[in-house]
């Protein structure tokens, strides 16, 4: 039985947070493109960022800020320009945007964290951003999550948000989150942004550890296209406004909080994978029998990221050879005579040997899962409840892990072939 429940409110569900999202003219489309999340008090801040050696100015800015002081009051995010590969001027623009917002909020500029998403090589349209900040601040609301989630998107087809609540020390504790991402998604963070708020009181070191572990089990286990972005940022705030006792070391309450944080991150990660550019279904890869969890997660990532596997699923082709191949090149040693592969309920390989199976029925399973992953709800047209499930066992070890991805369609090529044209 889970120790939390799903609630409404997204990023502003926890106590002491407000947010807003507006159209500031940063995107050529005129769609919402500037978002702000504010804590009423100083919050403990943790972050996990891209591993790409080419880092956007906002990433370097946040890493520098958090290294000096792991607290924050606000997160400002612009969509439209990545402000990556923009040289020294890109950092100057980042600093100027933080300073301008600080004046509007009447807070110190070093308590503001930044995120950007959009076209690499393009600087932030600073004049438009500055002109939009007064309205952005005026629109801050405890019910602003939906507008905020919309304003951070780029090629996303849907917004991504969740909030969960549990009880710690007889008081409600909440975690909310929003994310964006559709392309340039690959393990070790990708062109994704995710912001998490929490009203528990947690020590900085422990909060960072919790977030890093949660990222390893969620955002670092998704892939859409194998490209790792310049701008990936996962930022989590914990402001203590639940008035629960401070959590300073691992124990039952810390484990409960980390489990809920991980659940929020997994939901947001799966939502990104399902919304992969041109995708028609979500893929969940489950690996067991590995020597340890990290080995299992490594194989799961390889399978979820295999272009051949993804293409086969788009074609509704139950070609288990693609899966076996990806498992084999993942970089984990195992005895191929112990390899077992299952697609949904269809056992395709056992003890390293192919098994007879109903190919038409297996193909129909792929069709059914894709059809079920589309809903009639205009507010949430994508379902995460019907993934294509690939189960792989590589032996008798205790290690297990999951990864998520999506199929690879013709539309992915079309979207990215025309991205800046």
Q: How many domains does the chain have?
A: 2
Query: Among 274, 301, 332, which residue terminates a domain?
Result: 274
Give the pLDDT band of residue 83 (cuts 50, 70, 90): confident
Mean pLDDT, the chain, as a whole number? 91
Percentage above 90 pLDDT, the chain: 76
| Complete DSSP assignment for 107-132 | S-GGGEEEEEEEETT----HHHHHHH
CA distance 354 to 113: 53
Query: Is 339 in a helix, a strand, or coil?
Result: coil
Report the CATH number that the domain containing residue 69 is assigned in CATH.
Answer: 3.60.70.12
Give the pLDDT band of residue 187 (cuts 50, 70, 90): very low
- A 10 A CB-CB count for 244 gives 20
CB 342 within 8 A of CB 348: yes
Q: Tell me, yes or no, whether 209 and 321 share the same domain.
A: no
Q: Tell me, yes or no, whether 344 and 250 share the same domain.
A: no
CA distance 405 to 408: 9
Q: Tell me, yes or no, whether 60 and 18 share the same domain.
A: yes
Q: Is the dihedral of CA 225, 228, 232, 234 positive or negative?
A: positive
CA distance 72 to 67: 12
What pLDDT was estimated at residue 421? Answer: 57
What pLDDT was estimated at residue 53? Answer: 81
Q: Tell me, yes or no, whether 244 and 358 share the same domain.
A: no
- Cite the beta strand spans of 223-324 per DSSP E: 233-238, 282-290
Q: Tell me, yes or no, whether 252 and 290 share the same domain.
A: no
Q: Tell me, yes or no, whether 78 and 224 share the same domain.
A: yes
What pLDDT was estimated at residue 188? Answer: 45
Report the CATH number that the domain containing residue 302 is assigned in CATH.
Answer: 3.10.20.340
- Mean pLDDT calculated for residue range 190-211: 92
Give the pLDDT band of residue 224 (cuts 50, 70, 90): low
Q: Tell me, yes or no, whether 116 and 210 share the same domain.
A: yes
CA distance 60 to 84: 10
Query: Among 209, 239, 274, which residue terminates a domain?
Result: 274
Q: Tell me, yes or no, whether 16 and 146 share the same domain.
A: yes
Q: Tell me, yes or no, whether 237 and 350 share the same domain.
A: no
In this structure, the strands spanning 112-119 and 71-81 are parallel
Q: Tell me, yes or no, whether 197 and 340 share the same domain.
A: no
Most confident stretch, 113-122, 189-198, 278-287: 278-287
Domain boundaries, position 293: 282-417
For the question of residue 166 being annotated catalytic, the response is: no
Query: Is 247 in a helix, a strand, or coil?
Result: strand
- Mean pLDDT calculated for residue range 156-161: 90
220 or 205, which is more confident: 205
Q: How do residues 2-53 score in pLDDT, each as one tens digit? A: 789 999 999 999 999 999 999 999 999 999 999 999 999 999 999 998 877 8
What pLDDT was estimated at residue 228? Answer: 57
What pLDDT was estimated at residue 394? Answer: 98
- Cα 362 to chain centroid distance, Å, stands at 30
Q: Tell me, yes or no, whether 72 and 160 share the same domain.
A: yes
Catalytic residue among 148, 191, 230, 309: 191
- Mean pLDDT calculated for residue range 372-390: 85
Tally: H helices and E strands in the chain: 11, 15
Query: Among 252, 274, 296, which residue terminates a domain?
Result: 274
| Complete DSSP assignment for 256-267 | HHHHHHHHHHHH
Q: Tell me, yes or no, whether 293 and 359 share the same domain.
A: yes
| Of the candidates 355, 349, 358, the residue with the CA atom closest to the CA atom of residue 328 | 349
What pLDDT was estimated at residue 67? Answer: 95
List, in sequence order, the alpha helices (H) in 2-144: 57-68, 87-105, 126-138
Put simply, whether the predicted model's pTM sits higher than 0.85 gets the answer yes
- Mean pLDDT calculated for residue range 99-111: 97
């Amino acid at each position: 039985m889970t120790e939390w429940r799903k609630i409404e409110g997204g990023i502003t569900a926890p106590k002491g947070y407000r947010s807003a999202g507006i159209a500031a003219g940063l995107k050529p489309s005129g769609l919402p493109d500037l978002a702000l999340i504010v804590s009423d008090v100083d919050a403990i801040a943790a972050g996990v960022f891209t591993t790409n050696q080419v880092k956007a100015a906002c990433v370097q800015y946040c890493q520098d800020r958090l290294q000096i002081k792991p607290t924050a009051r606000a997160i400002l995010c612009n969509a439209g320009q990545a402000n990556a590969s923009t040289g020294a001027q890109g950092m100057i623009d980042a600093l100027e945007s933080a300073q301008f917002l600080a004046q509007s909020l009447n807070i110190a500029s070093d308590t503001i964290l930044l995120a950007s998403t959009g076209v690499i090589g393009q600087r932030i349209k600073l004049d438009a951003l500055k002109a939009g900040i007064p309205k952005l601040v005026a629109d801050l609301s405890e019910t602003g999550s939906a507008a905020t989630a919309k304003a951070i998107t780029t090629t996303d087809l849907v917004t991504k948000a969740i909030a969960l609540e549990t009880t710690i020390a007889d008081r409600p504790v909440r975690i909310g989150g929003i994310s964006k991402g559709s392309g340039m998604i690959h393990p070790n963070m990708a062109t994704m942004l995710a912001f998490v708020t929490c009203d528990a009181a947690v020590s900085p070191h422990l909060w960072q550890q919790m977030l890093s572990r949660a990222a390893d089990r969620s955002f670092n286990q998704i892939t859409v296209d194998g490209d790792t972005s310049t701008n990936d940022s996962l930022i989590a705030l914990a402001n203590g406004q639940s008035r629960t006792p401070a959590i300073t070391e691992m124990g039952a309450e810390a484990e409960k909080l980390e489990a809920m944080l991980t659940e929020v991150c997994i939901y947001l990660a799966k939502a990104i994978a399902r919304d992969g550019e041109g995708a028609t279904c979500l893929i969940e890869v489950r690996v067991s029998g590995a020597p340890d969890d990290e080995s299992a997660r490594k194989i799961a990532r390889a399978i979820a990221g295999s272009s051949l596997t993804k293409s086969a699923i788009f074609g509704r082709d139950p070609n288990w050879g693609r899966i076996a191949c990806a498992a084999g090149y993942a970089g984990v040693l195992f005895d191929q005579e112990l390899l077992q592969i299952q697609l949904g309920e269809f056992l395709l390989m056992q003890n390293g040997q192919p098994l007879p199976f109903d190919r038409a029925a297996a193909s129909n399973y792929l069709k059914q899962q894709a059809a079920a992953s589309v809903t009639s709800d205009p507010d949430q047209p994508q379902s995460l409840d019907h993934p294509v499930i690939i189960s792989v066992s590589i032996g008798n070890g205790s290690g297990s892990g999951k990864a998520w991805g999506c199929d690879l369609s013709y539309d992915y090529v079309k979207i990215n072939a025309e991205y800046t044209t």
